[in-house]
Structure 1
Amino acid sequence: MDNPWNTHYHYFDQKKHPPAATLRNAIALSQKLQINPQNRLAVDLGCGNGVDTFALLQDKWNVLAIDKQNEALLRIKENTPDTYKQQLQLRLNSFENIDTLPDSQLINATFSLPFCHPDHFDTLWAIIISSITEKGIFSGHFFGTNDAWSSNPEMTFHTEKQIKTMFNRFDLIHCKEIEKQGKTISGKEKYWHVFHIVAQKK
């Protein structure tokens, strides 16, 4: 049976989707901070099809792209122009097995963190928090408890109160909670409950 993520990557290859709005907002915020180019390290957690990774490379970030699917990393490696290859590191790892991250000025997690097993989420989040430097930025998404997938015991879901507690060491630059009926990549109907976050560490 084909890996369902292959279908996901193929879909995005065909659609040429732009980077996530949360990441675009985070990049705009980082540009105002005038970070020293030598210190511009971003981590793309669950980098998937690489759209966000490429956006960061184009903005002159050094990027550590992490994914548990080797197929994803191979696609990024193959599709990265030579101009950007020295800026890029690739790491094959699942969220559950991440035990450290480098000091980073930006951590991006577009629709990926909900797929961390709940038994490991708190540990992963503590690692993320500690690796973001002072004034550093987080951009990403979390699924709310009303999401149609919330009965999946392998995934992690949050309430608004939990989200605010998680970001108590940050200024929430953008925090939008959206609930709506929609579709998955495969076209199936689904009720979405998603928190869209951009935050800056105090």
Structure 2
Amino acid sequence: MTKDKSASWAAYYDKLRDRPPRRTLLAALDAFGETPPDALALDLGCGDGRDVIEMLRRGWRVVAVDSEPAALARLQERPLPPDAALTPVLARLEEVPLPLGVRLVNSSFAMPLCEPDAFRALWDRIREGLPAGGRFSGQWYGPKDSWFGRPGMTFLGRDEALALLDGMHLEMFEEEEDDGVTPRGTAKHWHIFHIVARK
């Protein structure tokens, strides 16, 4: 990683440091009710751990995956709950197999950063790897997003997204379209699907 790229990611994580866990993750965790015995979660594109910490706090074991060393370094610098069972993995999320026994796959704003073939292959592995009652939580991007057309990213129309989720119970499927800014302060038009799906 170049020094400039490392500094850019460090500034990004500084912006996000005090933000709460995403509501998709909270909805998925709440839907489980009591934390399942030996509960194992996979966080794909974990960043500096705003979602990971909440899963650990609730007693989940977490495999946290990110391709940025700065992300995992920040995660491991955070105060972790006592007896936290955290396994950080430095890898691109589309390259990581689902751990045996995973009950929750969380990917907040990260899956769309895969190119389309890798996105669909990853989604196939998630659907196949989750047991009955397992959940996916995260965000996918729609075609009206201002990043539409960027190479190496995936954008799905509403019907395409619903087709990929067919056969799962949708506990949340909310479409958001709004003008805003990125965590880096850049103006952006967002088109997002917020998803919690149970197998």
User: Which TM-score band (shorter chain)?
Assistant: over 0.9
Q: CA deviation at 1:119?
A: 3.0
Q: CA deviation at 1:141?
A: 0.1
Q: Is the 8 A contact 2:142 2:192 kept in 1?
A: yes
Match of 1:65, SS state, is: strand
Maintained 8 Å contact 1:101/1:128:
no
Query: Residue in 2 aligned with 1:142?
Result: 140
| Counterpart position of 2:30 | 28
Deviation at 1:82, TM superposition (A): 6.3
Distance 2:36 2:159 in 1: 35
In the alignment, the residues of structure 2 paired with residue 94 and residue 197 of structure 1 have an alpha-carbon distance, to the nearest angstrom, of 21
Counterpart residue type for residue 8 of structure 1: Y
The aligned counterpart of 2:15 is: 11
**CA offsets per residue over residues 31-71 of structure 1, 9 Å max, x none?**
1xx45322x00111100020100000001101111111111
TM-score normalised to the size of structure 2?
0.92
- In structure 1, what residue type is equivalent to 2:54? A
- The question of whether the paired residues in 1 share the 8 Å contact of 2:41 and 2:60 is answered with yes
- Residue 47 in structure 1 maps to residue 49 in structure 2: no
Identical residues among aligned pairs (%): 34
Cα offsets for 1:120-142 (capped at 9, x unmatched): 11111111111211111111000
Letter in 1 for 2:114: C
Could you list the runs of 5+ residues in structure 2 that have no partner in the other structure? none
The structure-2 alpha-carbon separation of the partners of 1:42 and 1:76, relative to structure 1 and needing over 3 Å to count, comes to: same
What code does the residue aligned with 2:72 have?
A: L
* Paired residue total: 195
* TM score, norm. by length of structure 1: 0.91
For the Cα contact (< 8 Å) 1:172–1:200, is it kept in 2? yes
Contact 1:19–1:51 (8 Å) recurs in 2: yes
Is the contact made by 1:37 and 1:60 (CA closer than 8 Å) also made in structure 2? no
The residue correspondences of 1:96-115 to structure 2 (distance < 5 A) are 96-115=94-113
In the TM superposition, residue 80 of structure 1 has moved relative to its aligned partner by 3.9
TM-superposed CA distance for 1:95, in Å, is: 2.4
User: By percentage of residues, which structure has more helix?
Assistant: 1
1:71 aligns with 2:87: no
Query: What stretches of structure 1 of length at least 5 have no aligned partner?
Result: none
Offset of residue 191 of structure 1 = 0.6
